[in-house]
Structure formats: structure tokens, C-alpha cells
């Protein structure tokens, strides 16, 4: 029963602060115990493990002495309190609170249907389809037909799973409940009946087409309509388009998960687009007009005289349409001044002449620095 796994911190297990009051512990424990109780999570070993961890953590932290020992020495201080510790003696002894809680809890659990007859109906599984889009397709939207493999109701047995569409017989093992109960320490744990897999009934002569599953795998085509403005990881849900349910259960859902390819020029930030435009040093100094490619054609951008590298210009409404609403984001153009290189002799000569005429007054960002330096020494 006790496996050699790393023990989690009891406070983390119960998702409370180390300073949590007894009342807070109780509330936290009750919530988690309800969430992970094996009756609510059949065939889910992970939930069962969490359930045990929570019970163990609460058993220690709800006891003032044990909590003090745990706070001081960690798990070593309360090593006798593991799940194995429940097995000897009366588990509720000295655990008044725990008894109360489980009284409520099991009351609710049994009402939830420990003894009622299992329904054969099962919901179909949800399916996921990854769809890769071009950058522009995400911006403007696109329609694309996809083909998915999914379970559909078997027509040969009308979805009964039984040859000749006969109604199935009640499972002898579980008496039709679909669950068998076993005692684990002081927890009564319900497990899915291994004979009927939880359906409560057994098919004597399974349908040959679906081998008793009541469904068969088929390719199915769906037209996916991607609206304008979607982004990476946007999910589109198609209700009931996943695997068909069994024995009258509802179908699962289909989730189309979008992956958007990067653009070589634009970068997306929400519904805004960013791009970087290189300009020459004379262009930036004298001012210029640039032709900018947007997603919907060309635009002219006026770069004023004396523009610094890194300056951003906003083209309003030239970004991505807002998903499911009106309006669009903006296009942000960042101008980067390129330092000229590979200059010929004549160009170098001209630059030198320019340099000789330049003063600190021509370089805006150094005006302040020069002033500060002067102030330090004066
Ligand atoms: Zn059964
Ligand atoms: Zn069939």
C-alpha cells in the first residue's frame, strides 16, 4: 500500500497557507475530498492518490500536536500517520472532526448513487484536431474542410452492441449497478465492475460489425469556419461532433485547436501588428516618406526630420480584426536607423566634412549628458 514516492508538503496538498486556521483546513479538506473522492472519479488512479494524500494531510494538520510536530520536523515528525496508520484500531478514535466530515461526505456519496442501477448510456469522448493556419488566415479568417476519425453509432445493431439489436442482460457480477465496492482502510471505494465495464449489463451475442462496442470508427468531414482575428491556441468547439456516445449517451465535443504560423515581416501582439523598417541615416535626419506594406496593401508613412532610431509610428486600424466584435488593432511601425558601412572614398570625405561641422547641439541625446557632466565639475 505504501509506495516509495516523494511526499508532498501537507499544506500544499490541501492548498492552504501554513498559517491556516482549523476552520480553513476543514473547508479546504472538505472541498478537495469531495472533488477527488473515488466514487466521483471511477477508474482514475490519480484522483484516488490525491484523495488519499488529502486525507493523510488533514489527519495530521487537524491534530494540534501532530501539526506542531510536522511544522517542526516535516514528514519525519509524523511518520506514523501515513495511510498504513489507519489500518489498526478504530480509525475515528481521537478524530472527532474527521468523523463528522466523513459522516457528511459519505452521506452525500451514497445518495449520489452507490446503490442505484447503472445507466448504460455513456457520453462520447471529446476529440481534438490541430489545425495549422497561415498568418493571414488567422487575421482574415478562413474556411477549411477537415477529416476526422471518430466513433459513430453502429447501424447494424442500432447502437445496442447486440446481434439482432437484442436488449442486453443484467450483469450478474454487480447486479446491474455497474460498480463493485471494496473496503480500503476505513474508506469504502467503488470500482467499475470489471465484467460489464460499468454498464450494468452484458451482451450475450455481440454485434459482429462493432464487436459489441455499439459504435464503429469512421472518417467524417467537417467544414471548419475560422473567424477573423483568431490567434495561436484559439479553440473552436463543435458540440456533439466528437465520438458518439454509447447506448444513447450524448456525443463528445470536437475541439479544433489553432496553430498560427509566424509571419516573416509582421509580429502580432494581441490585435496589434508590429514591424521594423530600416531607414538610412540621411533619411532619418532629413525626413522622408516610406512606403509601408500592410496586410491590406500599401500605405505611406511620413517620417519627420530628425527621427531617432527606435521611434514607433502607429497606423490606426491597420492591425488585426477583433475576434467576435467590431474594429481592428493598430499597426506599429518601428523605424531603425542603419549606420552606413562599405562607404567609398568620396562618401567618407563627405561624412568627414559633415562631422567637422557638427557640434554637440546636433546630437539631441548627448545635449543632456554634456550638461550633466559640466554640472558635476563646476
Ligand atoms: Zn457488472
Ligand atoms: Zn454493432
Tens digit of each residue's pLDDT (9 = 90 or more) over 72-109: 878 777 765 444 333 333 333 333 344 444 444 444 34
**Mean pLDDT rounded to a whole number for the chain:** 83
> What's 254's domain CATH number?
2.60.260.20
CA 193 to centroid of ligand 1, rounded, Å: 5
Same domain, 236 and 325: no
State in Å: Cα 48 to ligand 1 middle: 21
pLDDT at 96: 37
In the sheet that holds 331-338, the strands lie side by side as 267-269, 272-280, 331-338, 311-315
Is the per-residue pLDDT at 290 higher than 50? yes
For residues 285 and 309, membership in a common domain is answered with: yes
pLDDT of 367 reads 59
pLDDT at 74: 81
User: How far apart are the CA of 163 and the centre of ligand 2, in A?
Assistant: 7
Q: Can you tell me the mean pLDDT for 182-186?
A: 74
115 Cα to the center of ligand 1, angstroms: 13
Residue 227 CA to ligand 1 center (angstroms) comes to 47
- Is 258 in the same domain as 376? no
Q: Ligand 1: distance of its center to the CA of 243 in Å? A: 24
Question: How many whole angstroms from 242 Cα to the centroid of ligand 2?
Answer: 19
User: Ligand nearest 152 Cα, by number?
Assistant: 2
Residues 221 and 349 grouped into a single domain: no
3-class SS of residue 277 = strand
Domain assignment present for residue 317? The answer is: yes
Average of pLDDT values for 41-64? 86
Q: How many helices and strands (H and E) does the chain possess?
A: 9, 15
The DSSP letter of residue 359 is -
**Residue 142 sits in the same domain as residue 77:** no
Asked if residue 51 is part of any domain, the answer here is yes
| Residues 228 and 154 reside in one and the same domain | yes
Ligand 2 centroid to residue 248 C-alpha, Å: 13
CATH number for the domain spanning 87: value is 1.10.287.110
Instruction: Give residue 118 CA to ligand 1 midpoint distance, Å.
Output: 9
Of 106, 140, 172, the residue that ends a domain is: 106
Give the closest residue to 141 by CA, choosing from 218, 232, 227: 227
CA of 255 to the centre of ligand 2 (A): 27
**Nearest ligand, CA 117:** 1
- What does the pLDDT read at residue 374? 55
142-151, 158-167, 186-195, range with the lowest pLDDT: 186-195
Angle of helix 22-36 relative to helix 96-113, nearest 10 degrees, comes to 30
The reply to whether the predicted model has a pTM over 0.85 is no
Q: Is residue 70 part of a domain?
A: yes
Give the structural domain span for 147: 124-162+214-262
- Name which of 76-80, 123-127, 275-279, 336-340 the model is least confident about: 76-80
Whether residues 147 and 234 share a domain: the answer is: yes
Has residue 349 been placed in a domain? yes
Do 332 and 358 belong to one domain? Answer: no
Between the CA of 172 and the centroid of ligand 1 the distance, in Å, is 6
Whether residue 5 lies inside any domain: the answer is no
List the one residue out of 258, 257, 220 whose CA is nearest residue 241: 220
Q: Would 207 be classed as within a structural domain? A: no
Number of domains within the chain: 4
Residues 6+ apart with CB under 8 A from 243: 124, 125, 126, 127, 150, 151, 215, 251, 252
Inside any domain, residue 195 = no
Residue appearing with cell numbers 465495464: 197
- pLDDT > 70? residue 167: yes
C-beta separation of 369 from 363 below 8 A: no
Q: What ligand has the least distance to the C-alpha of 193?
A: 1
Whether 128 and 258 share a structural domain: yes
- CA distance linking residue 172 with residue 179, whole number of Å: 12
281 inside domain: yes
Ligand number nearest to the C-alpha of 195 = 1
**Statement to judge: residues 252 and 270 lie in one domain:** no
Query: Are residues 309 and 371 both part of a single domain?
Result: no
- Over 50: is that where the pLDDT of 113 sits? no
Q: Which ligand gives the minimal distance to the CA of 194? A: 1
The verdict on 233 and 131 lying in the same domain is yes
Amino acid at each position: 500500500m505504501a509506495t516509495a514516492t516523494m511526499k508532498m508538503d501537507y499544506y500544499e496538498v490541501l492548498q492552504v497557507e501554513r498559517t491556516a486556521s482549523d476552520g480553513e483546513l476543514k473547508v479546504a479538506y472538505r472541498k478537495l475530498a469531495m472533488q477527488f473522492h473515488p466514487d466521483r472519479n471511477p477508474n482514475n488512479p490519480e484522483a484516488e492518490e490525491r484523495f488519499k494524500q488529502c486525507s493523510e494531510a488533514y489527519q495530521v494538520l487537524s491534530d494540534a500536536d501532530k501539526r506542531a510536530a510536522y511544522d517542526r520536523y516535516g514528514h519525519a515528525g509524523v511518520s506514523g500517520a501515513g495511510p498504513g496508520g489507519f489500518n489498526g484500531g478504530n480509525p475515528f478514535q481521537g478524530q472527532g472532526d474527521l468523523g463528522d466530515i466523513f459522516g457528511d461526505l459519505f452521506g452525500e456519496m451514497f445518495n449520489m448513487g452507490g446503490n442505484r442501477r447503472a445507466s448504460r448510456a455513456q457520453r462520447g469522448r471529446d476529440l481534438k484536431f490541430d489545425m495549422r493556419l497561415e498568418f493571414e488566415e488567422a487575421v482574415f479568417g478562413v474556411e477549411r474542410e477537415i477529416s476526422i476519425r471518430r466513433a459513430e453509432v453502429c447501424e447494424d445493431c442500432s447502437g445496442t452492441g447486440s446481434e439482432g439489436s437484442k436488449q442486453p442482460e443484467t450483469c450478474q457480477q454487480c447486479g446491474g449497478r455497474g460498480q463493485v465496492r471494496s473496503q480500503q482502510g476505513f474508506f469504502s471505494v467503488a470500482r467499475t465492475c470489471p465484467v460489464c465495464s460499468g454498464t450494468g449489463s452484458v451482451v450475450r451475442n455481440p454485434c459482429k460489425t462493432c464487436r459489441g462496442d455499439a459504435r464503429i470508427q469512421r472518417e467524417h468531414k467537417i467544414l471548419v469556419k475560422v473567424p477573423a482575428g483568431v490567434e495561436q491556441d484559439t479553440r473552436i468547439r463543435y458540440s456533439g461532433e466528437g465520438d458518439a456516445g454509447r447506448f444513447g449517451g450524448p456525443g463528445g465535443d470536437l475541439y479544433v485547436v489553432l496553430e498560427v504560423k509566424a509571419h516573416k515581416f509582421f509580429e502580432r501582439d494581441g490585435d496589434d501588428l508590429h514591424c521594423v523598417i530600416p531607414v538610412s541615416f540621411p533619411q532619418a535626419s532629413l525626413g522622408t516618406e516610406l512606403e509601408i506594406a500592410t496586410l491590406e496593401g500599401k500605405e505611406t508613412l511620413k517620417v519627420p526630420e530628425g527621427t531617432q532610431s527606435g521611434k514607433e509610428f502607429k497606423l490606426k486600424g491597420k492591425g488585426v480584426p477583433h475576434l467576435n466584435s467590431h474594429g481592428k488593432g493598430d499597426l506599429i511601425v518601428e523605424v531603425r536607423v542603419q549606420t552606413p558601412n562599405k562607404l567609398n572614398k568620396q562618401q567618407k570625405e563627405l561624412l568627414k566634412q559633415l562631422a567637422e561641422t557638427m557640434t554637440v547641439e546636433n546630437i539631441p541625446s548627448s545635449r543632456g549628458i554634456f550638461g550633466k557632466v559640466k554640472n558635476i565639475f563646476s
